[in-house]
Amino acid sequence: MRILSQEFYARPARLVAPDLLGKRLVRNYDGQRIAGLIVETEAYCDPEEPDLACHGDRTNKGRPTPRTKVMFGPAGFGYVYFTYGMHWMFNVVTGKTGQANAVLIRALEPVEGEWLIARNRAGRERADWTNGPAKLAQALAIDGTLNEVCLFKTEGGIWIEDQPTISFENISTGPRVGLGNTPEPWISKPWRYWLTNNRFVSGKNRG
């Protein structure tokens, strides 16, 4: 399979996020492939005005911090952060260098290494293995050691492979999830993208 190039990521998050749907996220875990098709994403980006739901914009007056510096580029690297004191979240850095841009991978449809996923998500039903960002991180053994990993080479142990493009007719959009006290208009921006009716999309909104 062809690995997505750095050029694929070097575009605004709102363009990359829907284009990632249907692509194959692959994790090399102890020499074994674990993989899932990406079925849900969220864009966090700088349009003409700052996106106050984006880590790179809402802290430190839009300047990089030790945590967010990877978001400012270059594109094609992983941004992995810890949240709520218990969960890892996996993002891909997009856009132009110097501007905070990233896409959160929210859900996967498992397609390879399912026995390993079952072990990592012990006690859960298959439909509940990877239908959320924290769940997929646990399923694929993604943690802070993969922060700033290069995604357009295999040496880092995680990458995304190309797959046929999904028609926009099969993609739904809506507000992003879990933004807390983020003010309008950013909390309502329809910058979440998912494969319509896919049963691995997070939450109840799959239509």
Band of the pLDDT at 124, cuts 50, 70, 90?
very high
3-class SS letters over 37-80: EEEEEEEECCCCCCCCCCHHHHCHHHCCCCCCHHHHCCCCEEEE
Domain holding 129, by residue range, is 6-195
What are the E-state strand segments in the chain?
Answer: 24-29, 32-44, 78-83, 87-93, 102-112, 158-161, 171-174, 192-195
Residue 130 is predicted with a pLDDT of: 98
Q: Report yes or no on 204 lying in a domain.
A: no
Band of the pLDDT at 110, cuts 50, 70, 90?
very high
Q: Report yes or no on 202 lying in a domain.
A: no
Percent of the chain past pLDDT 90, that is, above it, reads 80
pTM of the predicted protein model = 0.95
CATH number of the structural domain spanning residue 172: 3.10.300.10
Q: How many folded domains does the chain comprise?
A: 1
Q: Is 149 exposed, middle or buried (0-12, 13-18, 19+ CB in 10 A)?
A: buried
Q: Is 2 exposed, middle or buried (0-12, 13-18, 19+ CB in 10 A)?
A: exposed
Q: Report yes or no on 72 lying in a domain.
A: yes
